[in-house]
Structure 1
Amino acid sequence: MHGVWKDGNHFALLPEAARFLPAMFEAVGAARESIMIELYLMESGRLASAMIEALCKAAGRGVTVMLMLDDYGAMGLADEDRRRLEVGGVALRFFNPLGFHSLARNLSRDHRKLLVVDGRIAFTGGFGAVDEFLDAWYEVAVRIEGPVVADWVRLFSRLWDSSLTRGHGDPALVRHLRLAVSPLADYRGMRGRVVWGQGYRYQAIRHSLQYRVSSAEKRIWICTPYFVPTLDLRRRLARAARRGVDVRLLLPGEHHDHPGVRYAGQRFYGRLLRAGVRIFEFQPTFIHAKCTLADNWASVGSCNFDHWSLHWNLEANQEVEDGRFTDEVSELFSRNFAASREIHYSAWSRRSRLQRLREWLFGSLDGLLTRLR
């Protein structure tokens, strides 16, 4: 599912936590009416403590603060921190609490990342409230102003009011919030839309990417930390490369929080490389960013290209059509390609037997997971 394209927005690319975390805390500190936060990961630590303090301060000055966390992703949030939020006046809810129902239902997680302040400013990307984002993981976010913010508010509102959540606070809180939806005159032509997915039932993100890959004329650059693509996407990428499109993948190197996922995706390297797809593995740290660039279109958000995101998770991305923004995204990709090791087919074809065994083993496990739907 997706919103309609809206003009008159302002999108600011914020690569690395040193840029997006201060911007987000500044927005929270300036909030006057409402704060909506939706996160997958939140674990007790320095970053979570700073966020709890900022949210409680906002609630203390009369701001309506709503925090939606995934029940599994928030397992590391201590009971003491949960009490601090509730005592501090923050309305706290958890998506899809783990239970003794089907495994497939437990696998359905809220993987979206969203902050909206006063219905006027929004942030999305791949961030979370865990200390790894302070210095260990490379991440990218986007700051959003303009009419498209209203779609992020509606997306949050539907989940907040859904029967899949439980927690404390008035379920009708979001219905009375004012929205700033007027186009920004200085940014005419900066078009954007929100696109979201909800497991295998609503896969607008996947369909949007497939369309862009098939219709691209010059470039398709994809950055994702978890690359286990569908057969259809692999074929589209290969066909695009064969017709002369500059197809590049920016993926994690040995720094990875789930090495098995990396091995499962590496089993596809050979055929993609033979087709002309260029593959780069980022070297400095674990790259957790989810960003795609196709000609004059860009997408930043929560969705990975693996079976978890495409088959089970709630996901949401911000899509942008604007040369100013895509120039910034292109420059960021170029810097990160330069900090990566390119994988060449000649060297890859000589990889060790141990590496091939890892690909087979974790690829087989990934195949089993896809049949749990």
Structure 2
Amino acid sequence: MEDLEHTAIRFAQKTLKRAIVLSAVTPFVVAGGVVALDHWSKRKKSRKAVFPHAKPVSSTVETTGTTIYTFGEDLYAAMLEAIEGATERIFIETYIWKGDEVGRQFKDALIAASERGVEVFVVYDGFANAVVPRSFFRFPEGIHVLEYPLFRPQVLLMDLKHTGRDHRKILVVDDEVGFVGGYNIGTLYATQWRDTHLRVTGTAVWELSSAFIDFWNLNRRRHHPSIDSPGTITWVPGFQAARNAPARRVYPIRNLYLEAFRRATSHIYLTQAYFIPDRELLEVLVAAARRGVDVRLIVPEASNHVLTDWLSRGLYSQMLRAGVTIWLYRNAMVHAKTATVDGRWTTIGTANIDRLSLTGNYEINMAIYDEGIAAQMEDIFTLDLTNCRELHLDEWEARSPVAKIGELLLTPLSPLL
């Protein structure tokens, strides 16, 4: 009898172990299948992106001038013009910097600036640019280049402070003009992706130069010079650059969104490239919709990261039932990270609403309290809606059982993205 009991116990233990292993492995197996299928299908349908876009729109808020860009060619022309007009120093920081035609234009402009006596500081992310030839990031002596490391040994010790990437996109010229937003640097983004970037002149430029200096001094190597970090006698209440800094365990961007969504009484217009909110962010959005706030979300119909699409879709039913309207952006990748609330508050920046951006990466979002800027962003949102189709609840709940099971099996991967 005891032998039978021991046999039964051992069988139960083996079954439990197999179940645990299977449950741990299954999401990754499903993910691999989804990625492979997406890669195959995209090879079969390669087409040029076509989407509406607005001309750059400018405004003035107190002592700061602003321009909003929604088309890469327009943005790059303005950035290159600023670099070519530099007389003192340039800060440039980017997540992806392609070694293509557009990438070379920026590199050549920085080299030319250095040759005429401008001090140039460059930061790029090693992981994001792993496929770019190393030679591309070799600059002449005199240009200060900091590669945010591809790998940091602390990751092996599961030190979360060192697991994020440098996902920021900043350009500051002579402390007089600054740029921040979702655009990386590359030919693809010039015409094929829909993104949003902000240019500021005047007092608010300090927000961006201070953010760059802080990051540089925190991450520089021995051979890099330190940069003095001057304060400012001018405060601009309407502008605030929120900076996520993993090494310091500081993540203010998430709180910006939470507080703005909690305050909403009229409408929330949200555009996100990768939308995988944590439980609290999702609950706050859903609560806003249930109390009558017009919550509209624009996401790509098919993004460049299929896993994020699937993980995001797992949340659609809950949002649609609560009254959130979901709009699928067609024929192009929408990469913007923007929101407006009640026609008063706006954010434009680099952070997606997902774990990596909100509690993992170095990110920067500009928060702006101004009705004029909010109105401009709402006009842009309205234009984007013309390139979307609304996802209705009945259509969504009628999707195939295979899709529903896939979304469920992939759910455990949400904290990784």
TM over 0.5: yes
Conserved? CA contact 1:146–1:181, under 8 Å: no
Match of 2:33 in 1: none
Match of 1:117 in 2: 173
Match of 2:81 in 1: 26
Q: What is the alpha-carbon distance in structure 1 between the residues aligned to residue 223 and residue 313 of structure 2?
A: 44
Deviates more, 1:318-327 or 1:280-289: 318-327
Relative to structure 1, the CA distance from residue 158 to residue 126 in structure 2 (aligned partners, 3 Å threshold; closer, same or farther) is same
Conserved? CA contact 1:280–1:343, under 8 Å: yes
SS at structure 2 position matched to 1:112: coil
Which one of 377, 387, 392 corresponds to residue 329 of structure 1?
377
CA offsets, 1:333-368, max 9 Å, x none?
00101110111111101011232133123322224x
Match of 1:76 in 2: 131
Q: What is the alpha-carbon distance in structure 1 between the residues aligned to residue 331 and residue 346 of structure 2?
A: 24
Match of 1:43 in 2: 98
**What letter matches 1:324 in structure 2?**
G
**What letter matches 1:62 in structure 2?**
G
Q: What is the alpha-carbon distance in structure 2 between the residues aligned to residue 213 and residue 282 of structure 1?
A: 22
**What letter matches 2:190 in structure 1?**
L
Match of 1:317 in 2: 365
Q: What is the alpha-carbon distance in structure 2 between the residues aligned to residue 124 and residue 166 of structure 1?
A: 25
Which one of 350, 356, 360 corresponds to residue 308 of structure 1?
356
CA offsets, 1:245-294, max 9 Å, x none?
1101110112x210111110110000100000000010020001111111
**What letter matches 1:284 in structure 2?**
N
Q: Give the deviation of 1:34 after TM superposition.
A: 0.7
CA offsets, 1:75-96, max 9 Å, x none?
233222122x2x2632100124
Matches within 5 A, 1:210-289: 210-254=258-302, 256-289=303-336
Alignment of 1:65 onto 2:120: yes
Where is the helix percentage greater, Structure 1 or Structure 2? 2
Which one of 294, 304, 326 corresponds to residue 341 of structure 2?
294
Q: What is the alpha-carbon distance in structure 2 between the residues aligned to residue 77 and residue 267 of structure 1?
A: 34
Q: What is the alpha-carbon distance in structure 2 between the residues aligned to residue 259 and residue 136 of structure 1?
A: 18
Conserved? CA contact 2:169–2:350, under 8 Å: yes
State the identity as a percent: 27
SS at structure 2 position matched to 1:317: strand
Match of 2:66 in 1: 11
**What letter matches 2:91 in structure 1?**
M
**What letter matches 1:98 in structure 2?**
F
CA offsets, 1:198-254, max 9 Å, x none?
249222111111011011111111111010001111111111111111101110112
Q: Give the deviation of 1:168 after TM superposition.
A: 5.1
SS at structure 2 position matched to 1:53: helix
Conserved? CA contact 1:43–1:75, under 8 Å: no
Alignment of 1:107 onto 2:167: no
Conserved? CA contact 1:112–1:316, under 8 Å: yes
* Structure 1 vs Structure 2 CA RMSD: 2.2
Aligned residues: 352
Conserved? CA contact 1:11–1:142, under 8 Å: yes
Q: What is the alpha-carbon distance in structure 1 between the residues aligned to residue 284 and residue 383 of structure 2?
A: 26
Q: What is the alpha-carbon distance in structure 1 between the residues aligned to residue 100 and residue 91 of structure 2?
A: 21
Conserved? CA contact 1:122–1:145, under 8 Å: yes
Q: What is the alpha-carbon distance in structure 1 between the residues aligned to residue 256 and residue 150 of structure 2?
A: 30
TM-score, normalised to structure 1's length?
0.89
Match of 1:3 in 2: none
Gaps of 5+ in 2: 1-60
Where relative contact order (Cα < 8 A, 6+ residues apart) is larger, the structure is 1
Alignment of 1:52 onto 2:100: no
Q: Give the deviation of 1:167 after TM superposition.
A: 7.9
Alignment of 1:98 onto 2:151: yes
Alignment of 1:346 onto 2:385: no
Q: What is the alpha-carbon distance in structure 1 between the residues aligned to residue 222 and residue 300 of structure 2?
A: 36
Match of 2:39 in 1: none
SS at structure 1 position matched to 2:228: helix
**What letter matches 1:212 in structure 2?**
A
Conserved? CA contact 2:71–2:191, under 8 Å: no
**What letter matches 1:18 in structure 2?**
E
CA offsets, 1:90-147, max 9 Å, x none?
2100124414442555631111110000001000001112332122211110101122
Gaps of 5+ in 1: 1-5, 184-188
Conserved? CA contact 2:69–2:197, under 8 Å: yes
